[in-house]
Amino acid sequence: DGGITQSPKYLFRKEGQNVTLSCEQNLNHDAMYWYRQDPGQGLRLIYYSQIVNDFQKGDIAEGYSVSREKKESFPLTVTSAQKNPTAFYLCASSVTYNEQFFGPGTRLTVL
C-alpha cells in the first residue's frame, strides 16, 4: 500500500535535547512538508521541500532543521533552540501544486 509513515508515534524530549522525527513516503511524490499543530490553531508550515537536496523555510522554521537526501525521506530535527516544542507534528507529501496527503503524526512532549 502506498502512503506516508511517521515515527515514532509518541516522543518525549528532555530540556536541551535534540530529537529527530522520521517521515517516509512511497507515493513517488516530489514535494514533502512538515507542519506543527497546536490546539485551537491551524496547521503551521515548518519546512517544505519540492525536490531532493533542496528545501525552504516555512512560517515557523526557527528551532527546526531538515534534510532531503532521498526522495522518499524528509526527517525533521527539533533542536534545543525550539523553546516550545510540545505539539503534534504532521508530515505530508504531494505531486506539485496538488492536494497534500498526510502521515499519522508524531506527538512530541517536553519533559
Partner 1 sequence: EDQVTQSPEALRLQEGESSSLNCSYTVSGLRGLFWYRQDPGKGPEFLFTLYSAGEEKEKERLKATLTKKESFLHITAPKPEDSATYLCAVIYGGATNKLIFGTGTLLAVQP
Binding site for partner 1 (CB under 8 A): 4, 6, 31, 33, 40-43, 45, 48, 50, 58, 88, 90, 92, 94, 96-105, 107
Q: In angstroms, what is the minimal distance from the CB of 56 to partner 1?
A: 9
| Antiparallel, parallel or unpaired: β 44-51 and 31-37 | antiparallel
Instruction: Calculate the alpha carbon distances from 95 to 27, 42, 82, 92, 111 in Å.
Output: 9, 22, 30, 11, 37
Nearer to partner 1, 6 or 82 (CB): 6
Question: Could you tell me the smallest distance in angstroms from the CB atom of residue 69 to partner 1?
Answer: 20
The minimum distance between CB 34 and partner 1, in angstroms, equals 12
Q: Which is nearer to partner 1, 45 or 110 (CB)?
A: 45
Closer to partner 1 by CB, 84 or 98: give it. 98
Asked if residue 29 lies in contact with residue 93, where contact means CB atoms within 8 angstroms, the answer is yes
CA angle 57, 19, 39 (to 5 degrees): 65
- Of 41 and 84, nearer to partner 1 (C-beta) is 41
CB of 43 to partner 1, least distance (A): 4
Distance CA 51, CA 55 (A): 7
**How many C-beta neighbours within 10 Å does residue 93 have?**
25
